[in-house]
């Protein structure tokens, strides 16, 4: 599988490229059943998987069309070999009879165990399934929407306007000081002990760098002087793209915590952090997350 060279922090959900076959989306027969069709089933953030003996998870590529009716949205996720890979978001089962016993796993909890070749399709399947599940009516006039362009566009039945899936940009940043300590915080909405790096959504009309500086100033009262982009990771729960940064503050590192948002925040040396984790005083984000990748990047040593 192809990889790109770039300023990549290794992130577990961004480990490979899949063939999205975007040029074939205009073909009106591209979602038709056929010998070459394989279906990836999603439901509300879960995806149907199979598990190898070593714990590696793979996409379950079904050969039977799981759509109960032709109006159920399907999405061309792309190609693998000569096969068309099609995502289908299925509704909650009304009764046990409706559920053929698929192993549906919550993607955000298992994404780091996915075979890299499958991660891109799984993330796109969950993201597009979530979009179709909640996007039923035109935001302009309220009329029903119909899928087209292989499920990548919804068109209004009344005013014919087109609607596209959105991705919300979120910055996430490992803030360091002159002594190369790392800032970790506990959001007031996180479970107790759970600490991570700071993060926040990019606001309309704002650059990514400005969003990093604004969030750090708002949440802990520090002035960021330097940022470095290190990589991105899709986080379609329901529709974020995490953009990772290293960020540096110089001089004064006294913290002023944002009321109601940040419950605790502290600077850590590598020794402090290892001891706090060992003593179970703090818990860190899970291995599939960008937050964990940024913390591990800092643990690995000072930036050049």
- Residues of the shown chain interacting with Zn ion in the complex, contacts defined by CB under 5 A: 138, 140-141, 143, 156, 158-159
Strand-pairing partners, residue 146, are 155
CA-nearest of 87, 61, 107 to 152 is 87
Q: For the stretch 55-65, what's the b/e string if a residue is b when 16 or more beta carbons lie within 10 angstroms of its beta carbon?
A: eebebbbbeeb
Looking at beta carbons only, is 159 or 281 nearer to Zn ion? 159
Cβ at position 273, least distance to Zn ion in Å: 52
Residue in the shown chain whose Cβ atom is closest to Zn ion: 138
Looking at beta carbons only, is 7 or 139 nearer to Zn ion? 139
User: What's the longest Cα–Cα distance across the chain?
Assistant: 65
Cβ at position 163, least distance to Zn ion in Å: 9
- Alpha carbon separation from 217 to 102, 178, 203, 249 (Å, rounded): 46, 17, 15, 11
Cβ at position 161, least distance to Zn ion in Å: 5
Looking at beta carbons only, is 141 or 274 nearer to Zn ion? 141
Looking at beta carbons only, is 106 or 146 nearer to Zn ion? 146
E-assigned strands of the chain?
37-43, 46-51, 57-59, 74-80, 83-89, 104-106, 145-148, 153-156, 162-163, 168-176, 182-187, 198-201, 224-235, 240-249, 262-268
Cβ at position 155, least distance to Zn ion in Å: 9
Neighbouring C-beta atoms of residue 177, cutoff 10 Å: 16
Cβ at position 144, least distance to Zn ion in Å: 9
Distance CA 296, CA 274 (A): 12
Cβ at position 242, least distance to Zn ion in Å: 32
Looking at beta carbons only, is 22 or 141 nearer to Zn ion? 141
Cβ at position 146, least distance to Zn ion in Å: 11
Looking at beta carbons only, is 156 or 182 nearer to Zn ion? 156
Q: What are residue 241's phi and psi, to 5 degrees?
A: -120, 120
CA-nearest of 214, 213, 225 to 177 is 225
Looking at beta carbons only, is 138 or 247 nearer to Zn ion? 138
């Amino acid at each position: 599988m192809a990889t790109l060279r770039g300023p990549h922090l290794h992130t577990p959900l961004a480990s490979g490229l899949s063939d999205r076959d975007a040029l074939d989306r205009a073909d009106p027969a591209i979602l038709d059943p056929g010998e070459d069709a394989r279906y990836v089933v999603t439901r509300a953030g879960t995806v149907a998987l199979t598990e190898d003996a070593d714990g590696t998870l793979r996409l379950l590529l079904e050969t039977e069309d799981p759509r109960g009716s032709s109006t159920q949205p399907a999405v061309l996720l792309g190609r693998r070999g000569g096969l068309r890979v099609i995502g289908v978001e299925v509704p909650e089962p009304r009764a046990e009879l409706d559920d053929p016993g698929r192993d549906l796993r919550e993607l955000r909890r298992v994404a780091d165990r996915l075979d890299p070749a499958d991660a891109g399709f799984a993330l796109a399947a969950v993201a597009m399934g979530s979009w179709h599940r909640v996007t039923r009516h035109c935001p302009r006039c309220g009329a029903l929407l119909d899928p087209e362009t292989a499920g990548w566009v919804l068109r209004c039945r009344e005013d014919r306007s087109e609607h596209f899936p959105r991705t919300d940009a979120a910055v996430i940043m490992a803030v360091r000081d002159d002594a190369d300590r790392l800032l970790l915080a506990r959001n007031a909405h996180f479970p107790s002990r759970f600490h991570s790096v700071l993060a926040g959504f990019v606001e309309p009309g704002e650059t990514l760098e400005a969003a990093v500086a604004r969030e750090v100033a708002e949440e802990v009262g520090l002035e960021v002087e330097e940022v470095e982009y290190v990589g991105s990771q899709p986080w379609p729960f329901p529709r974020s793209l995490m953009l990772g940064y290293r960020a540096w503050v110089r001089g004064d590192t006294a913290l002023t915590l944002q009321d109601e948002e940040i419950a605790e925040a502290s600077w850590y040396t590598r020794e402090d952090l290892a001891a706090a984790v060992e003593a179970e005083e703090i818990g860190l984000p899970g291995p599939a997350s960008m937050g964990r990748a940024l913390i591990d990047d800092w643990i690995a040593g000072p930036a050049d």
